[in-house]
Amino acid sequence: LAKTTQPISMDSYEGQEVNITCSHNNIATNDYITWYQQFPSQGPRFIIQGYKTKVTNEVASLFIPADRKSSTLSLPRVSLSDTAVYYCLVGDTNAGKSTFGDGTTLTVKP
């Protein structure tokens, strides 16, 4: 299983772009990279997923370099409501062989 490493915490201000990096040095060929957001007392919620290069949706972008040993979640123009814990998950297509990171607590300040 790929071991993942994320920063424990990050601070930002409203309106700024936030980049959270996840390291996964032993990622396997079939592994995808998925990011989740979790608010207190709730289950995690899917944000974005990718395999290589760049993926963008309406809430975030995911950058994956050619060697795939890391990935960066980019949140444009964060607001107070983006304060949450963000997890990266690296694993195969059925998630049974996948590993969550310990999460990054993002605090957005006014």
Beta bridge partners, 85, equal 38, 105
Beta bridge partners, 84, equal 106
Question: Which of 18, 21, 19, 23 shows the shortest CA–CA distance to 5?
Answer: 23
Work out which of 3, 45, 52, 54 binds other proteins, going by CB under 8 A. 45
Shortest gap between Cβ of 101 and other proteins (angstroms)?
6
Work out which of 3, 9, 25, 46 binds other proteins, going by CB under 8 A. 46
Shortest gap between Cβ of 27 and other proteins (angstroms)?
12
User: Per rule CB under 8 A, is residue 87 in the interface with other proteins?
Assistant: yes
Q: Which is nearer to other proteins, 82 or 104 (CB)?
A: 104
Host H or E run for residue 48: strand 45-50
Shortest gap between Cβ of 99 and other proteins (angstroms)?
8
User: Per rule CB under 8 A, is residue 37 in the interface with other proteins?
Assistant: no
Q: Which residues of 18-44 are buried (b: 16+ CB within 10 A; e: fewer)?
A: bebbbbbeebeeebbbbbbbeeeeeeb
Rounded distance between C-alpha atoms, residue 65 and residue 82, angstroms: 25
User: Per rule CB under 8 A, is residue 70 in the interface with other proteins?
Assistant: no
Binding site for other proteins (CB under 8 A): 1, 32, 34, 36, 41-46, 49, 51, 87, 89, 91-96, 98, 100-103
